């Protein structure tokens, strides 16, 4: 009987730790490192959070997954990670839910950094597009392309802060191993969501 209880307790504890969810505090602890572009620390922290929350499918885990990929692109831009190591890391998340940073939505003619724009893809379909750059705007860390699951009307979003996300479909890296731009992220079944101030 004691052995059975011990085994059940062990199984419960193992299941509980594996089913842990990302908390708002987990997410907030990474933000200062990204703001200061301390990408190596942000990468280490997001790795730790993601490894302990594998059953979580929440927006917060999607945000932390994106933070992990974004911090890795930052490390590449600083020479702290190779393009090949970046690809190996990012490919782990293909097929998973990612949620990007909120950006101001601007008219597509501006081609502004760190903003969401709506453009047409090669087949003429409307897509979302973000150029996520470092603070100095000397390196494009990610080109992000969003194929939306439902029709979107750009006029509903222009002038507002918008968060997009969806399923990470593909990751491409700069074939020249340059840091002028590091990666392209392709997001399927995407959404666009106007952010309201907290």
CA dist 75 and 47 (Å) reads: 14
CA dist 195 and 157 (Å) reads: 10
CA dist 52 and 116 (Å) reads: 31
Q: Quick one: pLDDT band at residue 125, thresholds 50, 70, 90?
A: confident
Calculate mean pLDDT across residues 176-187.
Answer: 96
CA 29 to chain centre: 16
Q: Quick one: pLDDT band at residue 7, thresholds 50, 70, 90?
A: very low
What DSSP designation does 36 have? T
Residue 119 has pLDDT above 70, yes or no: yes
CA dist 190 and 188 (Å) reads: 5
CA dist 101 and 50 (Å) reads: 17
The reported pLDDT for the residue numbered 6 is 41
The reported pLDDT for the residue numbered 19 is 53
Write out pLDDT tens, residues 14-46: 444 445 798 889 889 999 999 999 999 999 999
Write out pLDDT tens, residues 64-94: 999 999 999 999 999 999 999 999 999 999 9
Cα–Cα–Cα angle for 52, 55, 58, rounded to 5 degrees = 100
Do 34 and 67 contact (CB within 8 A), yes or no?
A: yes
CA 188 to chain centre: 13
Q: How far is CA 188 from CA 48, 58, 95, in A?
A: 26, 17, 9
């Amino acid at each position: 009987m004691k052995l059975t209880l011990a085994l059940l307790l062990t199984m419960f504890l193992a299941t509980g730790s594996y089913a842990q969810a990302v908390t708002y505090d987990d997410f907030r602890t990474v933000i200062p490192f990204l703001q200061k572009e301390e990408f190596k620390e942000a990468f280490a922290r997001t790795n730790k959070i993601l490894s302990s929350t594998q059953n979580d499918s929440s927006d917060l885990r999607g945000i932390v997954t994106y933070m992990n990929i974004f911090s890795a692109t930052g490390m590449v831009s600083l020479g702290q990670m190779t393009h090949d190591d970046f690809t190996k890391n990012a490919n782990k998340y293909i097929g998973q839910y990612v949620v990007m940073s909120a950006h101001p939505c601007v008219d597509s003619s501006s081609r502004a950094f760190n903003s969401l724009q709506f453009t047409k893809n090669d087949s003429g379909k409307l897509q979302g597009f973000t150029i996520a750059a470092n603070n100095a705007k000397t390196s494009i860390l990610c080109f992000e392309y969003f194929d939306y699951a439902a029709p979107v009307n750009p006029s509903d979003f222009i002038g507002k802060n918008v968060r997009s996300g969806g399923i990470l479909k593909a990751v491409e890296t700069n074939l020249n191993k340059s840091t002028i731009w590091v990666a392209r992220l392709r997001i399927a079944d995407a959404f666009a969501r106007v952010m309201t101030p907290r």
